[in-house]
């Protein structure tokens, strides 16, 4: 069913505690943890606990939780003392998405090029 945990999903396993992660914030609907392969001095992932393949599917099915992910992104930035930061939702393999459970990358702590690669 939509939103239910998927047995073969890495991030559902992090939500369920079956795979460890450096969790820095948690709410009823979201978890924020450090990316295992950071691309910036601060690189944190904010994910919904519910399983949706990407941000757009999350927003279509659960707009309130999509808003929770954005609110938590700012909370992470505040905790990490980031004045400027970038939120990235890679969507589709061609854009670099490798984990098909919606997640916001929060990147900061260095200059960020625009446009991104
Ligand atoms: P995507 O490429 O799908 O946009 O982002 C997936 C992100 O998950 C990547 O930045 C990757 O480094 C991160 N990642 C993959 N496996 C793990 C893991 O087991 N633990 C953590 N904390 N991050 C992971
Ligand atoms: Zn999942």
Topology at the third CATH level for domain 10-108 = HIT family, subunit A (3.30.428)
Does the Cβ of 9 fall within 6 Å of ligand 1?
no
Is residue 101 a contact partner of residue 89, using CB atoms and an 8 Å limit?
no
Q: What confidence tens digit (pLDDT) does each residue in 47-57 have? A: 999 999 999 99
Q: Which of 98, 101, 102, 106 to mutate to test the pocket of ligand 1 (most atoms within 8 A of CB)?
A: 98
Q: Using CA positions, which residue lies closest to atom 18 of ligand 1?
A: 36
- The closest-lying atom of ligand 1 relative to the alpha carbon of residue 90 is 4
69 φ, ψ (degrees, to nearest 5): -60, -40
Q: What confidence tens digit (pLDDT) does each residue in 50-82 have? A: 999 999 999 999 999 999 999 999 999 999 999
Q: Where are the domains of the chain?
A: 10-108
In this predicted structure, the answer to whether residue 91 has a pLDDT above a threshold of 90 is: yes
Tell me the mean pLDDT in the region 101-109: 98
Global model pTM greater than 0.95? yes
Q: What confidence tens digit (pLDDT) does each residue in 32-47 have? A: 999 999 999 999 999 9
**Residue 62 DSSP class:** -
- Which tokens in the block code for residue 13? 């396993």
């Amino acid at each position: 069913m939509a939103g239910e945990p998927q047995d073969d999903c890495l991030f559902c396993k992090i939500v369920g505690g079956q795979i460890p992660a450096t969790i820095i914030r948690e709410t009823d609907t979201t978890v924020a943890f450090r990316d295992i392969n950071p691309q910036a001095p601060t690189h944190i992932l904010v994910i919904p606990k519910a399983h949706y393949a990407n941000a757009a599917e999350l927003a279509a099915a659960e707009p309130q939780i999509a808003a929770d992910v954005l609110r938590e992104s700012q909370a992470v930035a505040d905790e990490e003392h980031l004045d400027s930061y970038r939120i990235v939702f890679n969507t589709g393999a061609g854009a670099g998405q490798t984990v098909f459970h919606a997640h916001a990358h929060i990147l900061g702590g260095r200059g960020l090029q625009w446009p991104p690669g």
